[in-house]
A and B are shown apart, each in its own frame.
Chain A
């Protein structure tokens, strides 16, 4: 067995950073909750500030996702140390949570979300991680789509496949390459320091890979096309 918790000189600093990030997360969740309520409260006759508020909500969500992902990676998602929590989950509840997380933002931006899939399907997965990954993909799609997003879930060949498709211009080539690299298990070549989309992709792929069953592991791939001809984010879990 390997030794545990080698005392690094910067341990205190790391703990301090992590606790600061938690504190920021608290503030951001308050901020994003307040924005959601303001948007809902603006009702059927939104004023001029409405689209700006929707943009604020999108940015707040992005901040929150990034912080969440950084913290999760700090906690070493993808290694045996992460408190990975697989349970049997109903597809219906998975979809409902993703939809409810995106609802206010999508409504505010006038984006239609179509959901389809076998709601009675039961799958073994880490609910918090998967809801996080898929709703991050929906958020992302909300930024690039013209006006429609499709969230689809099905079982295919012993895998649970969750697709987030939009009708925007599709993913740029470097990102598609990064997705393919991830599929091969090689280094993605994406530089997290300069490309914020890379963090989300890296995180999603780590989360997918933690899901293993009978010698298979989960994966993430990016495509262009799908039902609406735009970008497609495809998560497959064994």
Chain B
């Protein structure tokens, strides 16, 4: 070998990494490959290498030990696949922030390139894996983690504006990561309700190279802005360039839906589902669109597939069960519908506390649509009883569904109350007010409904205005107390939530940091972000809150050996 060539790949501009002392997990269903990977890791000096032959076994080990590096094959035979193991590990917090996850596959997969999966591994490796390639990719993933760690940290704290500033700082320092940092910055700006700055970031990328994700990013901004036709053209352009860029299909379907073209949306989702069938949300969306279109056969196929691919996935959803129950109703099979509704309540009651309400709505719809008005009315009465037994109300969409059904089966009072609740919590949302009025109209309660809407609106506005008055006249403690009360009465009113957080921030700014108030403000903002993510005021208030907090101790990486 010529002397010009060093034996180990050189570390460029960075400290060499001690790969010997790290904890490794190798996951592959083929023992020969496990041995090969173990040997390759040993040649890097690695001593602590655990192995798993299946996804289930891997999860068991991940729950016990915090690994620094996971090499996981995508295809693991029966049971969970590699992506599902990764998703579960992330969702269950079984990984360290510094853990490197390398997904191994026999060939470059569509999923690895389109980047639409919510949980991306740190790198993809294509077999056969050799020591040199492994070391190069490990080093790169590790250094990338170092560059992104403070950004990821700010991201996890939902301080998106700080995270974006950190991206800007890093762009100058690490040229090789510039494109990826711009991608991250664009995403952060979208989450901060700053589409114009997101657009700038995407365009900086496109000035270098025609990256499809950047083009799709520009299209998504158009979509969010309601420019459906422009968005549609751009997504179709992306697909023409790369028809495996599946995320563009999902977005294209949304653009069609925005234009009210459900047939077109359906056919786009159908094609996407054919290209990449194992996505729970895609099959769910396809099923829901088909149901709206009355395409029962296709809806059934999509929902059944959704349930099948969701079997081992943390992303499994009750929507597929409820949707399939509707399908069964339309096919005049109320028995299977009932069985599905019971399965949904059994399997999802923990993660979805309002599943009993949603199952009952669906039951009512199934009977109503099949013409069994007696049973439909019975379901309506049971739904009313369920509502009477609890204080809290589910999300707006479920409330509207309930009100619609209850009116349809002849219940009057409970749906009116539900709609007033919706108005009080969304008193400045004109589109929603129209929607509610339409439900009243359909129930032949146009005038009565109009009165209810007006009085509910006024109630919320009065509550908020009084709080703002106290705040503006400098009565900060009173303002805090008032907004707390207002929140208790209208827990999902975004204007009130934002103002409550604003008042808390002002209080701390004037009278000093207070742990309890800071915690309260974070809770309020987390709630409003759940109700509607990506709002400008959210990002601004999160940043103001972060600035108020006393400087934390310099961060030290956890040095604890967590091996069992």
Chain A interfacial positions (CB closer than 8 Å to B): 1, 4-5, 22, 25-30, 32-33, 36-37, 64, 71-72, 75, 80-90, 92-93, 96-97, 99-101, 103, 106-107, 112-116, 119-120, 122, 124, 128, 131, 213
- The verdict on B398 contacting chain A, using a C-beta distance below 8 Å, is no
- Taking a contact as CB atoms under 8 Å apart, the answer to whether B274 and A5 are in contact is yes
Q: Please name the residue on chain B nearest to A79 by beta carbon.
A: B243
| Interface pair B208/A124, CB less than 8 Å apart | yes
B136 touches A97 (CB 8 A): yes
Complex Cα–Cα for A86 and B239 (A): 16
- From residue A234, how far is it (CB to closest CB) to chain B in Å? 20
Question: In the complex, what distance in Å separates the CA atom of A224 from the CA atom of B429?
Answer: 73
Q: Chain B: residues with CB nearer than 8 A to chain A?
A: 1-2, 4-5, 7, 9-10, 12, 30, 32-33, 35-36, 39-40, 106-110, 112-114, 126-133, 135-136, 140, 175-180, 208-211, 236, 239-244, 271, 274-275
Looking across the interface, which residue of chain B has its beta carbon closest to that of A30? Answer: B32
Q: Is the CB of B236 within 8 A of A1?
A: yes
With A26-B106, A86-B209 in contact, do A93 and B136 touch (Cβ < 8 Å)? yes
Which residues of chain A come closer than 8 Å to B244, judged between CB atoms? 80-83
Shortest B110–chain A CB gap in Å is 5
Q: A97-B136, A100-B136, A107-B1 are in contact. Are A25 and B175 (CB under 8 A)?
A: no
Which A residues lie within 8 Å of B2 (CB)? 112-115
CB pair B108–A96 under 8 Å, yes or no, is no
Known: A30-B32, A84-B242, A124-B209. 17 other contacts (CB 8 A): A25-B106, A26-B106, A29-B127, A32-B128, A33-B130, A80-B244, A83-B113, A92-B9, A97-B9, A97-B136, A100-B9, A103-B1, A107-B1, A112-B2, A114-B2, A124-B208, A213-B209
Q: Which residue of A lies closest to B175 (CB)?
A: A122
Of the A-B pairs whose beta carbons lie under 8 Å apart in the complex, a sample of 13, sorted by A's number, is A5-B275, A22-B106, A26-B30, A26-B106, A27-B32, A30-B36, A64-B128, A83-B113, A96-B136, A97-B132, A103-B1, A113-B4, A128-B126
B107 touches A115 (CB 8 A): no
Complex Cα gap A116–B178 (Å): 25
Closest 5 CB pairs of A and B: A100-B132, A29-B128, A96-B9, A112-B2, A83-B113
Q: Pick the residue among A33, A75, A101 that contacts B39 (CB under 8 A).
A: A33
What chain B residues lie within 8 Å of A28 (beta carbons)? 128
The one of A26, A72, A119 that contacts B12, using a Cβ cutoff of 8 Å: A119
Residues B39 and A99 in contact, CB atoms below 8 Å apart: no
Q: Is the CB of B5 within 8 A of A113?
A: yes
A80: chain B residues within 8 A (beta carbon)? 240-244
Cβ contacts under 8 Å, A113 to chain B: 1-2, 4-5
**A191–B128 CA distance with the chains assembled, in angstroms:** 28
**How many Å lie between the Cα of A84 and that of B115 in the bound state?**
12
Tell me whether B108 and A83 are in contact (CB under 8 A).
Answer: yes
How far, in angstroms, from A75 to B108 measured CA to CA in the complex?
Answer: 10
Q: CA of A100 to CA of B131 in the docked complex: distance in angstroms? A: 8
Bound Cα distance A33, B133 (Å): 13
State in angstroms the CA–CA spacing of A106 and B5 once bound together. Answer: 12
B113 A84 Cβ-Cβ under 8 A: yes
> Contacts of A83 on B, CB cut-off 8 Å?
108-110, 112-114, 244
A-B contact count (CB 8 A): 134
A21 to B138, CA, bound (A): 27
Residues of A within 8 A of B210 (CB): 213
Bound CA–CA A122/B140 (angstroms) = 14
Is B243 touching A4 in the complex (CB atoms < 8 A)?
yes
User: Known: A30-B32, A103-B1. Is A128-B108 also a contact (CB below 8 A)?
Assistant: yes
User: B209 — which chain A residues lie within 8 A by C-beta?
Assistant: 86, 124, 213
B residues less than 8 Å from A106 (CB atoms):
1
CB-defined contacts of B110 to chain A, threshold 8 Å = 83
Q: Are B114 and A99 in contact (CB under 8 A)?
A: no
Most buried by B among A72, A92, A107, A116: A92
Is the Cβ of A93 less than 8 Å from the Cβ of B9? yes
Report the minimal beta-carbon distance from B240 to chain A, rounded to whole angstroms. 8
Query: Which residue of B32, B130, B132 is within 8 Å of A26 (Cβ)?
Result: B32
Kindly report which residue of chain A lies nearest to residue B114, judged by CB atoms. Answer: A83
Distance of A32 Cα from B129 Cα, bound (Å) = 11
Distance between Cα atoms of A96 and B233 in the complex (Å): 42
Within the assembled complex, what's the spacing in Å between the Cα atoms of A37 and B40?
10
Specify which chain B residues have a CB less than 8 angstroms from the CB of A4 in the assembled complex: 243, 271, 274-275
Contacting residues, chain A, for B179 (C-beta < 8 A)? 87-88
With a cutoff of 8 Å between Cβ atoms, the chain B residues found around residue A1 in the complex are 236, 239-240
The reply to whether B33 and A30 contact each other, CB–CB distance below 8 Å, is yes
For B140, the chain A residues whose CB sits under 8 A away are 93
Q: Which of A25, A72, A84, A120 contacts B128 (CB 8 A)?
A: A25
**Least distance between A34 CB and chain B CB atoms (Å):** 8
Closest B residue to A112 using CB positions: B2
Nearest residue, chain B, Cβ from A106:
B1
Q: How far is the CA of A26 from the CA of B10 in the complex (A)?
A: 29
Query: Within 8 Å CB of B241, what residues of A?
Result: 80
User: B176 to chain A: which residues have CB within 8 Å?
Assistant: 88-90, 122
Give CA–CA (A33, B40) in the complex, Å. 9
A71 touches which of B7, B36, B107, B132 (Cβ 8 Å): B107
Q: Give, as a whole number of angstroms, the nearest-CB distance from A59 to chain B.
A: 15
B1 close to A26 (CB less than 8 A): no
Question: Which residue of A is nearest B236, CB measured?
Answer: A1
In whole angstroms, how far apart are the Cα atoms of A33 and B32 in the complex?
10
B178 & A88 in contact (Cβ 8 Å cutoff):
yes
| CB-nearest residue of chain A to B239 | A1
Please state if A100 and B135 are interface contacts (CB–CB under 8 Å): yes
- CB-defined contacts of A33 to chain B, threshold 8 Å: 36, 39-40, 128, 130
A110 CB → nearest B CB, Å: 9
B5 & A99 in contact (Cβ 8 Å cutoff):
yes
- A95 nearest CB neighbor, chain B only: B9
Could you tell me the distance between the alpha carbons of A72 and B126 in the complex, rounded to whole angstroms? 12
CB-based nearest A residue for B271: A4
Task: State the Cβ distance, B349 to closest chain A Cβ, in Å.
Answer: 39
| Chain A contacts for B208, CB-based, 8 A | 124
Q: Which residue of B lies closest to A64 (CB)?
A: B128
Counting chain A CB atoms within 10 Å of each CB, the highest count among B9, B108, B209 belongs to: B108
Docked Cα-Cα span, A212 to B244, in Å, equals 18
Is the pair A112, B1 in contact by a Cβ cutoff of 8 Å? Answer: yes
In the complex, which residue of chain A has the Cβ closest to the Cβ of B210?
A213
- Whether A86 and B128, one on each chain, are in contact in the complex, defined by CB atoms closer than 8 angstroms, is no
Tell me, rounded to whole Å, the shortest Cβ–Cβ distance linking A206 to chain B.
14
Q: Are the C-beta atoms of A92 and B274 separated by less than 8 Å? A: no
Other-chain contact of B132, A27, A29, A101, A115 (Cβ < 8 Å)? A101
Instruction: Considering the complex, give the chain A residue whose CB is closest to the CB of B37.
Output: A33
User: Does the CB pair A100–B127 fall under 8 Å?
Assistant: no
Minimal Cβ-Cβ distance residue in B for A212: B210
| CA–CA, A89 and B176, complex, Å | 7
- Whether A29 and B36, one on each chain, are in contact in the complex, defined by CB atoms closer than 8 angstroms, is yes
Residue among B30, B132, B180 with max Cβ neighbours from chain A (10 Å):
B132
A96/B10 contact (C-beta < 8 A), A1-B239, A90-B176 known? yes
The residue of chain A having its C-beta at the shortest distance from the C-beta of B106 within the complex is A22
Most buried by B among A25, A93, A124: A93
- How far is it, in angstroms, between the C-alpha of A213 and the C-alpha of B107 when the chains are bound? 25
B133 pairs with A97, CB closer than 8 A: yes
Cβ–Cβ < 8 Å partners of B132 in chain A: 96-97, 99-101, 103
A99–B135 Cα gap in the complex (Å)? 13
